[in-house]
Structure 1
Amino acid sequence: MKLRLELFVEAPERSLDFYRRVLSFEIQGSASAEYTMLTNGDAVIAINSRSALASDHPLWLETGEKAGLGIEIVLSVADVDDAYRRAKESGWPLSDLAEQPWDLRDFRLIDPDGYYLRVTSRRAS
């Protein structure tokens, strides 16, 4: 089994810029205003236009409502220091890199549509 996240966003171009510039995802195939698949290693996130959803779809939101409530997207990386440095250089707001008591180091950030992300890796032994 593999997991692919499908994020429905207000402005796909803004989300594509965020995931590419801040988290180093790359476009797979062709990009469109309605659907674009991004990858970084084994992580796959598809960016979809929220406007493509029917008004009776369970993920349909009123304008101004926050997407992603109740979900934490965890991205495991080999080198969290490098991921943190690249994300910090992008200028996007993010937390400090922190040591967690469960033997992980991580930082956290929120994407343009309110999806909460944690970027993490095991502490070096």
Structure 2
Amino acid sequence: MTDTHPTRIDHILLFCANPLVSRGFYRDVLGFEIAQEDGEVTHLRLGETRLMLYPIGGDKGWLADEPTLGRGVRFYFDVPDVDVLCDRVKAKVPRIYNFDDFKPISGPIIQPWGVREFGVSDPDGYRLTFVTRVVEQT
């Protein structure tokens, strides 16, 4: 019998009000590489993570309704060193957050579930959290 369970998420599609602004944010602020561009659609890659930025407007006959940007979803990205990425992001973005209470923070925080993390909102309001697993000290 063939296993039909998913092994991983292939990519995440994010609807964008301004694809050029979003592309610049993911490339210049977060360090994603542009893997491919198909007209207004941009495919991005950071390690094994793949995102597709898709513009609002145009032919969207396959959508049931207009998408609500940035609502109802949060993305968590595992990175090798959250502090290095945080320094890079803080140099280009005015605020980073702890999204549990949506309060601005000055740097990554340690969560009780064993990660060091910080969050940032993209130009369309999607909340992105970057984590590095930490070893508990005894």
Partner of residue 18, structure 2: 11
Pairwise CA distance, 1:93: 2.3
Q: Secondary structure at the match of 1:45?
A: strand
Contact 1:109–1:116 (CA under 8 A) maintained in structure 2:
yes
Aligned to 2:60: 54
Mapped pair 1:43 → 2:49:
yes
- Is 1:72–1:117's contact at 8 Å kept on the other side of the alignment? yes
> Identity over aligned residues, as a percent?
30
Q: How many residues align?
A: 120
Q: How far does residue 68 in structure 1 lie from its aligned partner after superposition?
A: 2.6
TM-score normalised to the size of structure 2? Answer: 0.78
Q: Which residues of 2 match residues 53-92 of structure 1 at below 5 A? A: 53-54=59-60, 57-58=63-64, 60-61=66-67, 66-92=68-94
- Mark the runs of 5 or more structure 1 residues left unpaired by the alignment: none
When the two structures are superposed, what TM-score results if normalisation uses the length of structure 1?
0.85
Gapped regions of structure 2 (runs ≥ 5): 1-6, 98-104
Q: Deviations over 1:19-64 (max 9, x none)?
A: 11121001012363x2110000001011111113536723524xxx
Between the aligned partners of 1:31 and 1:15, the Cα distance in structure 2 is 15
Over aligned residues, Cα RMSD in angstroms? 1.9
Distance 1:98 1:58, change over 3 A: farther
1:99 aligns with 2:105: no
Q: Which runs of 4+ in 1 moved over 4 A?
A: none
Q: Secondary structure at the match of 2:83?
A: helix
